[in-house]
Structure 1
Amino acid sequence: MGTTPLGSWNDGAAKREIVDFVTSAATEGSPGFVAPMDRVAVFDNDGTLWVEKPAPVQMPFVLGKLAERLEADPSLAGERPYRAITDRDEAYFRALNEQDPDAVASMVEAIGSAWEGTTLAEFEAEAARYLASWRHERFGVPYSGLVYQPMLELFDYLRSHGWRLFVCSGGGRDFMRVICEDTWGMPKENVIGSAPEFAYRDGVLVRRAVLHGPIALGPGKAEDVLARTGRLPSFAVGNDDVDVELLRSARFALLVVHDDDVREYAYTDCAERARAAAEKHGWTTVSVKNDWNVVLNERLTQEKPSAPHQ
């Protein structure tokens, strides 16, 4: 971390608007004052806290598990999403990337069945083994090297002004909880996301194939945050269309715009509605190219392995 607040942020409108809001929120008597108990900040994960291209970090973990299940039970080949995996159906995976409800529902159901009966410790150990060997295909770094340095600084800046931080993502809650404490400095209980129900069986809690609450996408994000915290956020950060409802629920909304194909990726897919909403509602937008003088977490990015995992 830099010695100055938001040191990886260039001086510009985005940084000024963040500082002005946070300063005003902490100043009793100011028009923008936010009571301490209401200082709840919620961040999306994929594409907001770390690189999500060419695919979210969790995706190969999930697909590998489903491939193992398909190998053990070939009769699954006729069902979605197994049929799509077997056929390498690009249309299905594009729909999944675009958060199509039917595609997402079929994937969530398959994930629930794949890990049904697993204890939390067993799931976390499996995820940790995967993450230990995973490397990004372009940058050759582990998952921790994909975290955006400016966002870690924003975490620190908000904490220093009395904000409580949460992450809410359509990605698996229990998967994110494996990395949240070491990577974000965030306790597990502050991570919200799509998750299974648990059942008490023979003295232990095990995963069920039933989803706990709504999928944390679109309206489901705001619903999950309210259910978990008892409050809607006063500060929210996202990057694409499935974050719109969360951002609209906040007093201050920050939208990350991916426009740097040199240091990261430039893309607009699945973000058209979010960008239109940002213009309509006057949200603060963050250009990766213009607002960040550093993108990836420098310390962890430098810890490249000699031979990236294939």
Structure 2
Amino acid sequence: MTEQVLASWKEGPARKAILDFVHEATTPGGAFVEPADRIATFDNDGTLWVEQPMPPQFDFVFRAWEEEVKADPSLAERQPYKALVERDQQFFEGLATQEPQAVASLLEAFARSWAGTTPEEFDARVREWTTTVRDLRFGVPYTKLVYRPMLELLALLRANGFRVFVCSGGGRDFMRVFSEETWGIPKENVIGSAAAYTYTDGRIVRSRALLGGLDLGPGKPEHIFAHTGRLPAFAGGNADVDIEMLRSAAFALLVRHDDDQREYAYSKGAEASLATAEQLGWTVVSMKNDWTTLF
């Protein structure tokens, strides 16, 4: 390992725990992890990039739904369009904390909105969003709000034979558009909630149905196993919906949002995961105290 490994991480228990695990996992002995089993999975929203005041994908879909409501005002009578029109704060808080019922409502509407489109058509819409829309607080595209320390961690794991996956409750196909250039993670290593596809007249098109269950809570290890045939050796998350994924891993990393100067300070939606981390001895990363830089 060179001096540049985890360069944005301060010396301390979190950095040491990561380096110790990687060393032990790659050194023959009791904690050695066979190369085929070196699976590392990471949540996206709040773990790899910002999730406040709302996960970025919601910005993308809300813009599309505003146009749909203009074209068909009757949509304003049902969720999640109703919450958007009425600026329903309670509904938005459920989305921000990835409350399963709220997220299910969003993803079902998301599937309806792009049903019948090809991957190329959907990708073009996402690509336009990534290049033209900017976060209101930071004034840059959302893909520039990825945490540099986490990118360094992904690089460290890859350099030591780990296959790195994103496992998010958000849309799989949405993340695939920018996963390779933003995280260095191939499209095929992106796991998330997804629409089912059909092959019709020589082309693949999105359907209205969701493929499997939501990639939240127990859905995370279920989707990981379905995708890889293994459970993770290393897992990183930041919220209660990541608990099951973290419990399924040999090494669990929990990101704590406690830096209100450089990002945000909050624990809503992470109370249970923080308590579980203390109980089970997970490695908790303080954004404020463990990272020299964020983005």
Q: What's the TM-score, normalizing by structure 1?
A: 0.92
Q: In the alignment, what sits opposite 1:303?
A: none
Shift of residue 100, structure 1, vs aligned partner: 2.6
1:197 aligns with 2:193: no
Per the alignment, do residues 144 and 106 of structure 1 end up closer, same or farther by CA in structure 2, a change over 3 Å counting?
closer
Q: In the alignment, what sits opposite 1:26?
A: 26
Whole-Å Cα distance in 2 between the matches of residues 201 and 177 of structure 1? 22
| 3-state DSSP of counterpart to 2:125 | helix
Shift of residue 264, structure 1, vs aligned partner: 1.2
Whole-Å Cα distance in 1 between the matches of residues 178 and 231 of structure 2? 25
Q: In the alignment, what sits opposite 2:84?
A: 85
| 3-state DSSP of counterpart to 1:42 | strand
Q: Is the 8 A contact 2:100 2:216 kept in 1?
A: no
Q: In the alignment, what sits opposite 1:181?
A: 180
Q: In the alignment, what sits opposite 2:6?
A: 6
Spell out structure 1 runs of 4+ moving beyond 3 A. Answer: none
Q: In the alignment, what sits opposite 1:301?
A: none
Deviations 1:42-74 (A, max 9, x none): 010111011111222111110111222222222
Aligned residue runs from structure 1 range 265-284, under 5 A = 265-284=264-283
Q: In the alignment, what sits opposite 2:75?
A: 76
Shift of residue 101, structure 1, vs aligned partner: 2.8
User: What amino acid sits opposite 1:64 in the alignment?
Assistant: R
Aligned residue runs from structure 1 range 246-257, under 5 A = 246-257=245-256
Matched pairs, number:
294
User: What amino acid sits opposite 1:8 in the alignment?
Assistant: S
| 3-state DSSP of counterpart to 2:231 | coil
Deviations 1:230-282 (A, max 9, x none): 00001000001110010000000000001111111111111001100101111
Q: Is the 8 A contact 2:9 2:15 kept in 1?
A: yes
Instruction: Name structure 2 gaps, 5 residues minimum.
Output: none
Q: Is the 8 A contact 2:118 2:206 kept in 1?
A: yes
Whole-Å Cα distance in 1 between the matches of residues 131 and 104 of structure 2? 29
Whole-Å Cα distance in 1 between the matches of residues 267 and 43 of structure 2? 17
Q: In the alignment, what sits opposite 2:220?
A: 221
Output the aligned Cα RMSD.
1.2
Whole-Å Cα distance in 2 between the matches of residues 160 and 34 of structure 1? 15
Q: In the alignment, what sits opposite 2:98?
A: 99
Deviations 1:201-227 (A, max 9, x none): 222110011111111111111111110
Deviations 1:73-117 (A, max 9, x none): 222221111111121111111122233332222211111111100
Whole-Å Cα distance in 2 between the matches of residues 3 and 122 of structure 1? 44
1:211 aligns with 2:210: yes
User: What amino acid sits opposite 1:72 in the alignment?
Assistant: A
Q: In the alignment, what sits opposite 2:47?
A: 48
Structure 1, 59-68 or 16-25: larger mean CA deviation: 59-68
Q: In the alignment, what sits opposite 2:163?
A: 164
Whole-Å Cα distance in 2 between the matches of residues 23 and 125 of structure 1? 41
1:151 aligns with 2:155: no
Shift of residue 134, structure 1, vs aligned partner: 1.3
Q: Is the 8 A contact 1:236 1:253 kept in 2?
A: yes
Structure 1, 102-111 or 180-189: larger mean CA deviation: 102-111
Q: Is the 8 A contact 1:258 1:287 kept in 2?
A: yes
Structure 1, 206-215 or 139-148: larger mean CA deviation: 139-148
Whole-Å Cα distance in 2 between the matches of residues 4 and 98 of structure 1? 34
Instruction: Name structure 1 gaps, 5 residues minimum.
Output: 297-310
| 3-state DSSP of counterpart to 2:178 | helix
Whole-Å Cα distance in 1 between the matches of residues 8 and 69 of structure 2? 45
Identity of aligned residues (%): 56
Q: Is the 8 A contact 2:197 2:206 kept in 1?
A: yes
Per the alignment, do residues 159 and 8 of structure 1 end up closer, same or farther by CA in structure 2, a change over 3 Å counting?
same
Whole-Å Cα distance in 2 between the matches of residues 121 and 60 of structure 1? 20
Q: Is the 8 A contact 1:66 1:110 kept in 2?
A: no
